[in-house]
Structure 1
């Protein structure tokens, strides 16, 4: 198997992009990525998306987007794993290159959500849950995460305000990200006074509905110098694990088993541990998920993820900076694209291009992309100079 690296990245701003179509968003992100890499076109394209068949009445995105970009004749496929689609598509691209089946692969995560009605979006997002055991009973995706947060607060005796630093940190980091949806800091008072969506989740515990696209170019490490002027960012690990889709089927609702298992696999692949990670892009779709990810990845004991946040250790200058460009809460959460945005943010950090949000001496970083309430989790570890 060949070592794989990232040589190009691209992204659109995230927001309510009513004037941009799904294919146009993908085009913009992919064009940026190939321009950044300095290549003409890839051998294969992996498109990450969750909701287009329901919200845009459009499937067959691999061929649609590849042909729209002008890449007729290449391989192209669509990857869906709920909110973990982006990380899963990147893993597919990495494996294709590592195996030698292709030399240059492109990944594009794209989602168009805001053109639809709120009811349609809620119903579409609920397909990430178990249709028979959860959806049939009217459980929305927010409601399921509210159950997790309620259990966490009960199990560990954690008051609601202890989750505020996750949202406050994400918003503070988003201020310096020109592509973020919410470039405004919030206070503890703002957090506590925000309306409840599904008790105990309030407006600032939840990531926003949004549109956007992000893209990456990967190739064999041995070919990077010939293909691109950019210093390569090496993929040290790519690992996935699954759990039951329905919450009721899990042994412990506040132990993200798939997140813990995929992180352990990734550490083993890379020959590293939590102490070696300089930056961690978490899947903070809800603030409780940020806490659970920190615990599952070994940065805190069970029930202590909130303590890291309270102590300021998740800030840019903290022990384990998270959501460094705003995360899902501040940057936005176009669900099928989110895993790719996380990876683009991490590459930006490892290149030293994060500006005011740069984590000092960041050489090794990790992303964790979560599908559903933790049913599919993809963990990646990337590095520069190794």
Structure 2
């Protein structure tokens, strides 16, 4: 099966932008992705596009993919909207990889967008809630912060995880986000700040929860037949894995793991032929602080129940053995639902290209992105690696 390569990626700023539309945000991301391609990029080369969005607020629910691709001049390019809640554009990237590896396309655009800041808090909660189990969770009043609070409480009860360990996720990710010019909450916070914030859903406080965001992100995936036209320093999509599970948390066998993430990671590692210890950095889905700790365990970064001590060890710091969420993660960078997965790929591209600025990891060779839909109804994992240079004999 032919290889697929990531040759460009870009995003808009994440935040609240009353003067922007979903189309203008997408244009910013698309142009940034095109400009990031080392040897230049002609949009006329795009064979297909996959666009992730939940459609928050009800704007352009139908044909929202073509609505943004035609706006950037991809007239006539086949476009498919992908919806998998917060994992929408992560799965859009997977669709792009599949299109290239199948031989049906040589150049594919994968991206996503969302506008979330122009509604009341009640309306925002409604649109976030549609990705939960609608009969027994959402309509009974359960919010996503409430669902993840149940997961956090269960993990604390079973493994002794502490509120301070949850807060360390926020401190680390804000420190990284402060170095990211695209971050919505691009400021540092102290451990005291993160521990003393107002409670949202016990045991999760405000600093344990990501913001709602406007934003867009794009990635350009090409086949091995044309990759040399775009770069002489290729980044290969080494592994892809996806998983699904019951949408409702109450329907699952465990509250202290996300089985869809485990399945996705196992498949991605198998395809890439690697172990978690072979990674140099990772972008994981930290919609809530407990989600990042669960990801450490689900992705095999540490043993089950040891994520609290793992973050305390400093292993996931920018200068640690496995930096996690160098972008600032959802917590600091932001979480425009449909753009989040593609936005993680943007960070992977920057790190592997050596263009991550003050948050650059030292000489990375391989990185992972992990994107979750809802509270774990869907998950997608990608492994990206720089092609090894072959030394002259």
1:116-154: CA deviation from partner (whole Å, max 9, x where unpaired): 111111011011111112112111111111111111111
User: Which residue pairs with 1:156 in the alignment?
Assistant: 159
Separation (CA, whole Å) in 2 of partners of 1:238 and 1:128: 23
Separation (CA, whole Å) in 2 of partners of 1:207 and 1:295: 20
User: Which residue pairs with 1:50 in the alignment?
Assistant: 54
Q: Shift of the alpha carbon at 1:384?
A: 0.6
User: Which residue pairs with 1:322 in the alignment?
Assistant: 324
1:100 aligns with 2:103: yes
Q: Indicate the SS of the match to 2:226.
A: helix
User: Which residue pairs with 1:295 in the alignment?
Assistant: 297
Q: Indicate the SS of the match to 2:51.
A: strand
Q: 1:373 aligns with which of 372, 375, 380?
A: 375
Separation (CA, whole Å) in 1 of partners of 2:74 and 2:300: 42
User: Which residue pairs with 1:21 in the alignment?
Assistant: 21
- Go from structure 1 to structure 2 and tell me whether the alpha carbon gap of 1:200 and 1:9 turns closer, same or farther (over 3 Å shift): same
Q: Which runs of 5+ in 2 are unaligned?
A: 389-393
Q: Shift of the alpha carbon at 1:230?
A: 5.8
* TM-score calculated relative to the size of structure 2: 0.95
Asked if the contact 1:55/1:121 (under 8 Å) is kept, the reply is no
Q: Shift of the alpha carbon at 1:95?
A: 0.3
User: Which residue pairs with 1:311 in the alignment?
Assistant: 313
User: Which residue pairs with 1:364 in the alignment?
Assistant: 366
> How many residues were matched structurally?
384
Separation (CA, whole Å) in 2 of partners of 1:195 and 1:347: 36
Q: 2:145 aligns with which of 136, 142, 146?
A: 142
CA RMSD in angstroms comes to: 1.1
Separation (CA, whole Å) in 1 of partners of 2:383 and 2:59: 33
Separation (CA, whole Å) in 2 of partners of 1:255 and 1:171: 25
Q: Indicate the SS of the match to 1:128.
A: coil
Q: Indicate the SS of the match to 1:333.
A: coil
* TM-score calculated relative to the size of structure 1: 0.97
Spell out the pairing of 1:1-386 with structure 2 (5 A cutoff): 1-37=1-37, 38-41=40-43, 42-52=46-56, 54-226=57-229, 228-229=230-231, 231-386=233-388
Q: Indicate the SS of the match to 1:222.
A: coil
Q: Shift of the alpha carbon at 1:297?
A: 0.8
Q: Shift of the alpha carbon at 1:55?
A: 4.0
Asked if the contact 1:55/1:116 (under 8 Å) is kept, the reply is no
Q: Shift of the alpha carbon at 1:9?
A: 1.1
Separation (CA, whole Å) in 2 of partners of 1:117 and 1:51: 16
Asked if the contact 1:8/1:216 (under 8 Å) is kept, the reply is yes
Separation (CA, whole Å) in 2 of partners of 1:317 and 1:117: 40
Q: Shift of the alpha carbon at 1:361?
A: 2.0
Q: Shift of the alpha carbon at 1:222?
A: 3.2
Deviating above 4 A after TM superposition, structure 1's stretches of 4 or more consecutive aligned residues are none
